[in-house]
Amino acid sequence: MFQLEEHYWWFVGRRCIIDKLLLQRGQLPPAALVLDVGCGSGGNIRTLEKFGAVVGVDISLVALTFCRRRHSCNLALSEGDYLPLRSDRFDLVTLLDVLEHTEDDNRALCEVHRVLKPGGKALITVPAYPTLWSEHDEALHHKRRYRSKELRDKAQKAGFRVLRMSHAISAVLAPVYLFRWLQRLRPRRVEPKTALVSLPAPVNRLLVAYLKMEARLIPRASIPFGVSIICLVQKPNRNEDEE
């Protein structure tokens, strides 16, 4: 995973989408304080450092060790649904393909709400469609996949206002549906494997180019389908809470 994050189309394209959405819709203060929950080996931190100082937390000590090889930012060992951080501290919190790993996603969203400053933003990405559940999800230790309405409802229940929600990574939806339907026809493996497979360089570049096009679109309009969901939310200011 450490090596794949540098060049694999999924990770490169997702970083482009994150970057464009935050630049055009984030409206973050200069030198924002950013928390990357589930930072893993740090593949997204360089993108997030454009917006300010980054703190990374992850449940895996191994992942944090790899992250330290890439970055000198502050890191902490922590579960996503019990953050060892004081309230009202961060301008931006990211959960990038993290929420689906948590035992209690409602609790995790409430924790993100707690550590954000009033008016602060959170950026969330999750895998879409429970019908796409496969051994890929099991290999990655997912607890669930999401429908967009479900994610919206959970974010609002945690106290957030939804600023932008869209599906993403739409070009591969039909092939993924077909591949996972075919997977169900064959005998299950003893050990589930992920669907992260090496692609020829031209195909990898083509998919990156497509996701860069999505990155230009998503800040302005929602894509109605895709294998991922991206959601930008805001913690209301205190005067808004009182209204």
pLDDT single digits (tens) 20-60: 999 999 999 998 999 999 999 999 999 999 999 999 999 99
pLDDT(190) > 70: no
Are residues 162 and 231 in contact, defined by beta-carbon separation less than 8 angstroms?
Answer: yes
Q: What is the pLDDT of residue 198?
A: 79
**Domain of 83, in residue numbers:** 4-236
Does some domain include residue 73?
A: yes
Q: What is the pLDDT of residue 210?
A: 96
Q: Tokens for 9?
A: 């189309």
Does some domain include residue 38?
A: yes
Are residues 211 and 169 in contact, defined by beta-carbon separation less than 8 angstroms?
Answer: yes
- For 100-155, what is each residue's pLDDT tens digit? 999 999 999 999 999 999 999 999 999 999 999 988 899 889 999 999 999 999 99
- For 58-110, what is each residue's pLDDT tens digit? 999 999 999 998 888 899 998 888 899 999 999 999 999 999 999 999 999 99
Does some domain include residue 56?
A: yes
pLDDT(158) > 60: yes
* Burial annotation 67-97 (CB, 10 A radius, 16+ → b, else e): beeebebebeebbbbebebeeebbbbbbbbb
Does some domain include residue 243?
A: no
pLDDT(1) > 60: no
Number of domains within the chain: 1
Task: Give the position of tokens 């694999």.
Answer: 8
CA distances from 76 to 57, 59, 177 (A): 5, 9, 37
Residue 149's domain is classified under what CATH number? 3.40.50.150
